[in-house]
Amino acid sequence: MFNKEMYHSIKPASIESIAKIKADLIECEDEYLFSTLKFARPYVVVYLDQLFRKYSVLNNILFLPKERKIHKYLHQVGFEFLRGHCPEIPDFNEECIIKLKFFNGSEEEVEEQALEWINKDILKFISSIDKMLKRKIVNNIWEIIQNSLLHSENLNGISACGQLYPKKKYFELAFYDFGIGIPGKIKKHFISKLCLNDCECIKWAMDKGNSTKNVPNAGMGLYFLREFIKMNGGYFQLISNSGFLGHIHSSYEDMVRLHNLSDGTLVNIRINY
Amino acid sequence: MKKIKVVDKLKSSNLLSSVKGEILYQYILAQLDQMNSITLDFSDYEYISSTFLNSTFGKLLVSKNWTKEQFFDMIKVIGLSDDDMSNLMLSVQNALFKNDLLLKGQNIEDVYLSNLSY
């Protein structure tokens, strides 16, 4: 049963509302897409980044949010597809913004990109953390990025950004790729054999040893991520196709079926430090 | 027994990509042609991923069809943190479990289907 009070990061209804932007962009015949979007969190930014990389490259459509503060935030976080700027709006605290980063290329190139982003945009602000925790953070961020590059079948790589909450001693990261999605990949691989709904597919992918790779030595990355988040006392939400899997407390995991089908895979995590 | 310092061999303390895992795997294979066992020293590493572990140790186990005992007789690992050693063990156990089933003629997909709890 979905408990609205438990979700501090993403609500299923929010995912459903931003999924509508895609339809608006596809139908847009102007130079820019005007939007009445009322909220902008890291997961919105990465969704917009992937959306515009996929759909606006050919006709150069830009994004114009009505809310000036959202416009300012998108500019500060590094969103490239923005129309205009808002000099009259004061900057948000730069030390709380984990800049948008786009990962694409060979595995070695992406490894270098990922380490640079993590060191320059994340760890720089929390440099006093325990070495073991630092290692876990890097390892698990890599698992998310690499998983996407390996499985998503997406030519547009993966986008990531985040937010630091220094007073609360945690940060949130969001990752999004506009690929086939975890359920899409699983259903494609197993065809009709594995009869799981989209939420169950996501859960299956996070279980120990499960993988669509046909080799025995695979299937541990998302499992390690899940176990790390649980031990850290953090959160994760994994949204893929119409499946939503969220973890808030200890071993409790919630599954919600989304009404608007969304492409690709969104991973949102909160890590305490 | 030969001792190899992994970060020196791979010229990197970041052991994340499967490409690096594959390089280490190939090197280990070549060494095992000439000697009975090998020690892998991970001192001074910064990061290590499941992909790397699967591409090195998981793949080694599968290609050699070793049991767990044979694996640890042939390969000694030092210099990893307790957490990362634990992850290595899990990766090895995962590969071993699935490889055993393959050797018995079972299909991995059928294993997944029969192990579903939901």
**A134 is written with which tokens?**
């630092």
Contact A217, B91 (CB under 8 A): yes
- Report the SS3 class of residue A168: coil
Q: What angle do CA A119, A120, A126 make, to 5 degrees?
A: 65
% chain B with pLDDT above 70: 95
Look at residue A268 and tell me whether its pLDDT is greater than 50. yes
Best mutation target, B23, B50, B81, to test chain A (most A CBs within 10 A) = B50
Say whether B62 and A217 touch across the interface (CB within 8 A). Answer: yes
Residue A251, burial from CB neighbour count under 10 angstroms (0-12, 13-18, 19+): exposed
Residues from chain A contacting residue B116 (CB–CB below 8 Å)? 194, 196, 204
Is pLDDT of A5 > 50? no
- Judging contacts by C-beta atoms under 8 Å, the chain A residues touching residue B51 are 142-143, 146, 221
- In this complex, is the C-beta atom of B116 within 8 Å of any C-beta atom belonging to chain A? yes
The DSSP H or E segment spanning A198 is helix A198-206
User: Which residue does chain B place closest to A131, by CA atoms?
Assistant: B46
Chain A residues whose CB is inside 8 A of the B44 CB are none
pLDDT tens sequence across A184-194: 998 888 766 66
CA distance A42 to A268: 9
pLDDT digits (tens, 9 = 90+) for A132-150: 999 999 999 999 999 999 8
B118 touches chain A (CB under 8 A): yes
- A167 three-class SS: coil
Question: Which chain B residue's Cα is nearest to A212?
Answer: B109
Chain B residues closer than 8 Å to A216 by CB: 58, 62, 94-99, 102, 108
B56 touches chain A (CB under 8 A): no
User: B55 in contact with A at a CB cutoff of 8 Å?
Assistant: yes
Minimal CA–CA distance to A101: which of A24, A18, A39, A174?
Answer: A174
Name, in order, each residue with C-beta under 8 angstroms of B62's C-beta and a sequence gap of 6 or more: A215, A216, A217, B95, B99
pLDDT in tens, A7-34: 456 777 787 788 888 889 989 989 999 9
- H or E segment and range at residue A151: helix A131-151
The answer, yes or no, to whether residue A4 has pLDDT greater than 60, is no
Of A146, A194, A203, the CB nearest to B112: A194
In 3-state terms, what secondary structure has residue A205?
A: helix
Say if the Cβ atoms of B94 and A216 lie within 8 Å: yes
Compute CA A267 distance to the chain's CA centroid, rounded to the nearest angstrom. Answer: 4
The residue of B52, B54, B68 whose CB has the most chain A CBs within 10 angstroms, and thus the best one to mutate to test that interface, is B54
Contacts of B53 in chain A (CB under 8 A): 220
Give long-range contacts, CB 8 A cutoff, 24+ apart: B70-73. Answer: B71/B96, B73/B37
Band of residue A1 on the pLDDT scale cut at 50, 70, 90: very low
Sign of CA dihedral A257, A263, A264, A266: negative
For the stretch B16-68, pLDDT in tens is: 999 999 999 999 999 998 888 999 999 999 999 999 999 999 999 999 999 98
ipTM of this predicted structure: 0.89
Torsion over CA of B99, A203, A122 and A175, rounded to 10 degrees?
A: 110
**Beta strand A158-165 pairing with A170-177:** antiparallel
Q: Mark out chain A residues that contact chain B at CB-CB < 8 A.
A: 107-108, 111, 114-115, 132, 135-136, 138-139, 142-143, 146, 190, 193-194, 196, 200, 203-204, 208-210, 214-221, 224
Q: Do B47 and A142 touch (CB under 8 A)?
A: yes
- B53/A146 CB distance under 8 A: no
User: What is the percent of chain B with per-residue pLDDT over 90, rounded to a whole number?
Assistant: 68
Say how far apart CA A66 and CA A220 lie, in whole Å. 43
What is the per-residue pLDDT for A115? 96
Exposed/middle/buried for residue A228 (C-beta within 10 Å: 0-12, 13-18, 19+): buried
- The confidence score (pLDDT) of residue A6 equals 47
DSSP B36-66: S-EEEE-TT--EE-HHHHIIIIIHHHHHHT-
Cβ atoms of A73 and A92 within 8 Å: the answer is yes
DSSP 8-state assignment for residue A121: I
Measure A210 CA to nearest chain B CA, in Å: 7
Up-side HSE of residue A92: CA atoms within 13 Å toward CB?
Answer: 20
Q: Does the pLDDT value for residue A239 go beyond 60?
A: yes
